[in-house]
Amino acid sequence: MRIKKIFIAIAVLNFLGAISELDSLKADEVAMPPQNNQNVSSDKLTSVQVEVAFPNLTFDRPVDFEVPPDGSHRVFIVQQPGTISVFKNMPNIKTTIPFLDISGEVFCGHMEEGLLGLAFHPRFKKNGYFYVYYTLNHPRRSIVARYRVSASNSNQADRNSKKVILEVRQPYGNHKGGRIAFGPDGYLYIALGDGGSGGDPHGNGQNRKTLLGKILRIDVDHPANWKNYGIPVDNPFVENKLGYRDEIFAYGFRNPWRFSFDPLTGWLWAADVGQDKPNEEIDIVTKGKNYGWNIMEGWECFKPPVGCHRGGLELPIWQYTNNMGRSITGGFVYRGKEISGLDGKYIYGDFVSGRIWALEYDGKKVVSNVLISHDSGRNISSFGIDENNEIYFCAFDGRIYKLKRIQKVN
């Protein structure tokens, strides 16, 4: 029994590459963090509570919470073994409907593999298109595929409509990224980790000739050059002469586990899981920038192959170390109405510690970083927002939770 508990504990800590896997490289040189990130608040925000959103429902390793842009008030939950469930967004809902089941195809050999992401086309209400990110084996690879909703049942996918958009070979079982989302520009963004193992042994993060360790941006509406997608004309490496991949939007990531767009500012927020320290980092991602891995891990040098030069690198706006958590889960900027104290703050958490924070960034510096929830019992795998921009999160206890304002009792 004790051996079983130890095995489970080790598996949890390995999720998302939160610990060092195959090597034990240590930073040999320290880069000072931006001074404007020091001494911000870490007090707990007492006006927020966490509650189970749908008490009658449980899921098998939920990793994504999505709502379609069609006004239907439905929620779609992605489950890592390869299924998507749909139901009405009502607290007392008792049952879910199977929307898509590709569990027979998806490969879940590692805790970071499986069905990992879902994105609805901006014109989903008209064309019925949605996109999924999942992993396969023999050979090990990541797939982004498009499906269409059944013409006769809006709560069921047409499995025969599958069209593979992008396929990326993977060397190892961890660091898959997995988030896909349409940006405000209408293009599909895709997060890919460095391919796994430990310390990025193939140097993928800094190699612009590979898609691994990158955030990609592609045009799914205008296929070109014998591919099932096109390249936006303003992607940073379009038609370069050095062999860099045109799909790259930004690079230098280890395992960008969840990103999101703030609908008000348009900023792309990404959380990159750290390794040895670990240094769990938050980035504001902009076109063409290099976010440092594996030269840097957060604000510190990682022991790169040759020296440690910060020139040309975009450092995180924020990081935390293993006294607060071991595997960051990226979230969303809060734009809801229920919790006024959270407006404009980036809500994020940690898979291992279960903590949740609200971070305020003014475009130049982090103004505050406030602890919302301290609960090591929840393994937070993903955040999501509903049609009213209220924030939920998925946890590996099988539940979906919601952030709520504490109601005062007179």
Residue with more model confidence, 341 or 233? 233
Residue with more model confidence, 264 or 310? 264
30-39, 137-146, 273-282: which has the highest mean pLDDT? 137-146
Domain around 89: 2-38+53-342
DSSP 52-78: ES-TT---SSEEEEE--TTS--EEEEE
- What pLDDT sits at residue 310? 84
Which segment of 156-160, 263-267, 313-317, 319-323 scores lowest on mean pLDDT? 319-323
Residue 161 tokens, joined: 């409509």
Mean pLDDT of 216-236: 97
- Helix %, strand %, coil % of the chain (to 5): 5, 35, 55
Residue 205 tokens, joined: 């993060």
- What pLDDT sits at residue 43? 54
- Report yes or no on 93 lying in a domain: yes
- What pLDDT sits at residue 259? 98
Furthest-apart CA atoms within the chain: distance in Å = 69
pTM, to two decimals: 0.90
Say which CATH number the domain at 157 has. Answer: 2.120.10.30
CA 278, CA 217: separation in Å to the nearest integer?
28
Confidence of residue 305 (pLDDT cuts 50, 70, 90): low
Q: Is the pLDDT of residue 235 over 90?
A: yes
- Report yes or no on 124 lying in a domain: yes
Confidence of residue 18 (pLDDT cuts 50, 70, 90): very low
Q: How far apart are the first and last CA of the chain?
A: 49
Mean pLDDT of 245-257: 98
Strands of the sheet containing 318-320, edge to edge, are 256-261, 268-272, 280-285, 318-320
- Report yes or no on 116 lying in a domain: yes
- What pLDDT sits at residue 144? 98
- Report yes or no on 64 lying in a domain: yes
Q: What is the pLDDT of residues 57-98, one digit of tens each?
A: 999 999 999 999 999 999 999 999 999 999 999 999 999 999
Confidence of residue 303 (pLDDT cuts 50, 70, 90): confident
Mean pLDDT of 187-203: 97
Q: What is the pLDDT of residues 19-34, one digit of tens each?
A: 333 333 233 233 345 5
Pairing of the two strands 214-218 and 188-192? antiparallel
Residue with more model confidence, 409 or 386? 386
Which segment of 49-53, 214-218, 344-348, 372-376 scores lowest on mean pLDDT? 372-376
- What pLDDT sits at residue 38? 41
- What pLDDT sits at residue 304? 59
CB distance 394 to 54 below 8 Å:
no
- What pLDDT sits at residue 407? 65
- Report yes or no on 295 lying in a domain: yes
- Report yes or no on 43 lying in a domain: no
Instruction: List, in order, residues 6 or more apart from 398 with CB less than 8 Å away.
Output: 58, 59, 60, 61, 62
β-strand partners of 120: 130
Q: What is the pLDDT of residues 200-223, one digit of tens each?
A: 999 999 999 999 999 999 999 999
Mean pLDDT of 156-183: 97
The total number of structural domains that make up the chain: 1
Residue with more model confidence, 45 or 252? 252
- Report yes or no on 393 lying in a domain: no
DSSP 153: -
- Report yes or no on 397 lying in a domain: no
Confidence of residue 35 (pLDDT cuts 50, 70, 90): very low
- What pLDDT sits at residue 24? 31
Q: Is the pLDDT of residue 306 over 70?
A: no
CA 117, CA 53: separation in Å to the nearest integer?
21
